[in-house]
Amino acid sequence: MGFGRPGRWPLAKDRLWFFSGGEVYRDAYRPVSFSGVPKTLNEPKYDATERKFITKLTSALSSAIRAEGYYEYGDLDVTGTNAGPLVRPEALAIGNRAETMWNARLLWTLSSRAFLELRHGGHNATSYFGPPDNRLSGPPGHYDQLTGVTSINTLSVSDWLSRPVTTGAHFTYFAGGHPGGNHEIRTGFEYEHARLRTFDGFVGGRAFLDYDGQPDKVDLWDGATYRPTHSRNTFYAQDTWSATDRLTLNLGVRAGLYRGSVPGHQGAFSAHSLSPRIGGAWDVTGDHRTVLRAHYGRYHDQMVTSFYDFLDPLSQNPETVATVVGPNQFVDPFTYPTAATAAMDPDIRYPFVEEYLVGAERQLPWGIAAKAQYISRDFKDSIGFTDPSRIWQPVERIDPGPDGRRGTTDDGGPVTVFFDQDPSRSAPLLTNPKGAYRRYRGVQLIGSKRYAKATEFQASYTWSRTVGSYNNGTLSNAANNDLGINGVFVNQNKALNAEGRTLQDFTHQVKILGTYRLSPWGGLNVSGVYRYHSGRPWARTAGGFGSQTLGVGIYMEPWGSRELPAVNTLDLRLEKTWKPSQKLATLGVFADVFNVGNQGVALRNTNVSGPNFGVPAEWLEPRTLRAGVRLMF
């Protein structure tokens, strides 16, 4: 439901306007992971309720000054957030998320050639995942390494708070009317301060790893608490220079200063970046119908707390894995090294991606534009942990094969795994690991038609290849997952087969979207989006090589050796709005159909050897109908 007065009924005539809107949405369904499983009476389901609200004010303080601001709130409550056939009812988790956003903006027209923009905004978000509060202390959850079943309780709990606030000033000046061409010069400054509070741990301080229904190992860990703060100062200058009637150049540079702290370590991290950018567009024929474009840019990573948050003393609780021999009876403990003794390379460099782009665009008849372009991206100076002090002993073991059981007909050959001879020697170093790289190469063909004769559309095809020596599954190139304290440049087991196609390499992608307006019934908009992309690459992992390799997921084959089926979907929307009279509100109705063909395809599957090897863990959502009514006044 929407409501508002976006300008027709001002609060103060020609001075102040407002807009407000609200929405309540509930989504309850049987997760697609239950496909093929007989339905039972008390079967769990995913049940989410989402609420959203926004209000916005716009004011003309004078003929030269305009001010606006908005406030937005949203929350989401979910039960059965991890519901699936391998999750027992007592192990179901809940999820809660609440966030508030606000922003104020002032635009001051200083003259016909210059204006100043001031902005201030922030974001406050909280999130919780885990069992209901009365089950936080236990009993601990159990996960069966062979069957993949979670039972007794939710395994883990996550609770976090994020509060970034940003202030900025931007000045724009238009210079023209002289032999050197026209310039649009823009300079600015941004300051961001952010605070993060997170806790991640096991329910009851431990998690049991069963094997075929019997307790096998226990993971003892009191969790990690992170309390980082960071600040970012960014300065930039750019010039859009119309050098001639046929040549336009875009020149720019951005500089950043970064600083991060945790309790007890003020100024724990500091770095700087300098990002030059240059681009150009040349009108080849002079009739604005054929344009060649080229671009070079250096783009530095966002400031992330994983650069330094491991220095928080509350984040380094030791984690010990032991063998279970009876109730509360554990033997052969192995304690994983932590980052408590980690050092930071004083010459550490800030990570960035270097991008090159060349392309051509041609205006065709019937309002159609065609574009072809080549894109190259190289991710450099990635930040991660190394630990050259650790001594790894190679040990030969047998690959259990896809069924996860040794001594069966599908066993693979011998494989070499590695055991840490003396974890006490650990001396992690946060640095720019040698050999850390990722590369993207892509070719795009794009055709588009602007709205005319009741029709508009865009169609594109992309061929791409992404390879690397680490996987950035969390969309970061800094000190986590494969670059973390137990990553590929620390743990030799993680490095096995971990180079080649990354797990985000989708070779072929096609996308077509468009809208057609039917004139009958006063006008009806019919829109659609068609998507095709290659399936996600994956590879088989195996465990059961010893306590030191628990949770490592040792790859038995190179990344990208296998590929899931391609995604091939069509979404449609029908929408109509009308106004019964000038004095009444505008009424709108719409209907969305997602995945019209009801394609059932896995987006992610279980890659660990065992009885569930290859079983989908995440499915494309089935055909879904969503209908609604809007009231705007």
Of the segments 66-75, 315-324, 576-585, which one has the largest average pLDDT value?
A: 66-75
State yes or no: cis peptide before 139, omega within 30 of 0: yes
Residues 6+ apart with CB under 8 A from 388: 427, 429
Rounded Cα distance, 334 and 209, in Å: 15
Give per-residue pLDDT as tens, 475-495. Answer: 666 777 889 888 899 999 999
pLDDT at 82: 92
Beta strands in 245-336 (DSSP E): 247-262, 265-283, 290-300, 320-326, 329-335
The answer to whether residue 1 scores a pLDDT higher than 60 is no
Confidence of residue 3 (pLDDT cuts 50, 70, 90): very low
Lowest mean pLDDT among 116-120, 146-150, 459-463: 146-150
Beta strands in 134-264 (DSSP E): 142-144, 150-151, 156-175, 182-202, 206-211, 214-220, 224-226, 229-242, 247-262
pLDDT at 334: 87
pLDDT at 11: 60
Confidence of residue 302 (pLDDT cuts 50, 70, 90): confident
Give per-residue pLDDT as tens, 594-626. Answer: 999 999 898 988 899 988 898 888 888 889 898
Q: Let me know if 542 is exposed, middle or buried by CB neighbors in 10 A (0-12, 13-18, 19+).
A: buried
Arithmetic mean of pLDDT over the chain = 90
The answer to whether residue 366 scores a pLDDT higher than 90 is no
Beta strands in 402-483 (DSSP E): 414-420, 429-431, 438-452, 455-468
8 DSSP β-pair partners: none
CA torsion through residues 589, 595, 598, 604, sign = negative
pLDDT at 2: 36
Phi and psi angles of residue 204, each rounded to the nearest 5 degrees, phi first:
75, 10
pLDDT at 10: 55
Higher-scoring residue by pLDDT: 47, 178:
47
Confidence of residue 41 (pLDDT cuts 50, 70, 90): confident
Name the residue among 350, 434, 347 with its Cα closest to residue 388: 434
Give percent helix, percent strand, percent coil of the chain, each to the nearest 5: 5, 60, 35
Q: According to CATH, what is the number of the domain 64-632?
A: 2.40.170.20
Higher-scoring residue by pLDDT: 474, 549:
549
Confidence of residue 583 (pLDDT cuts 50, 70, 90): low
CB atoms within 10 A of CB 245: 10
Residues 6+ apart with CB under 8 A from 356: 295, 296, 375, 376
Q: Which two tokens stand for residue 605?
A: 């599957």
pTM above 0.85, yes or no: no
Query: How much of the chain, in percent, has pLDDT values that exceed 70?
Result: 95
The answer to whether residue 574 scores a pLDDT higher than 50 is yes
Higher-scoring residue by pLDDT: 114, 41:
114
Give per-residue pLDDT as tens, 45-96. Answer: 999 999 999 999 999 999 899 999 999 999 999 999 999 888 999 999 999 9
CB 37 within 8 A of CB 85: yes
Q: What angle do CA 440, 276, 239 make, to 5 degrees?
A: 120
The answer to whether residue 584 scores a pLDDT higher than 90 is no
Confidence of residue 21 (pLDDT cuts 50, 70, 90): confident
pLDDT at 25: 85
Work out the average pLDDT over 390-394: 91
pLDDT at 622: 85
Residues 6+ apart with CB under 8 A from 24: 1, 49, 50, 51, 52
pLDDT at 522: 65
User: Which residue is it, tokens 């209000």?
Assistant: 55
pLDDT at 176: 80
Query: How much of the chain, in percent, has pLDDT values that exceed 90?
Result: 61
Name the residue among 167, 192, 169, 21 with its Cα closest to residue 103: 167
pLDDT at 475: 63
DSSP secondary-structure letter at 314?
Answer: G
CB 220 within 8 A of CB 320: yes
CB atoms within 10 A of CB 29: 15
pLDDT at 425: 87
Phi and psi angles of residue 521, each rounded to the nearest 5 degrees, phi first:
60, 30
pLDDT at 587: 80
Residue 357's alpha-carbon distances to 88, 296, 378, in angstroms, are 50, 7, 12
Lowest mean pLDDT among 64-68, 302-306, 539-543: 302-306
Rounded Cα distance, 450 and 368, in Å: 7
Work out the average pLDDT over 153-166: 95
CB 378 within 8 A of CB 439: yes
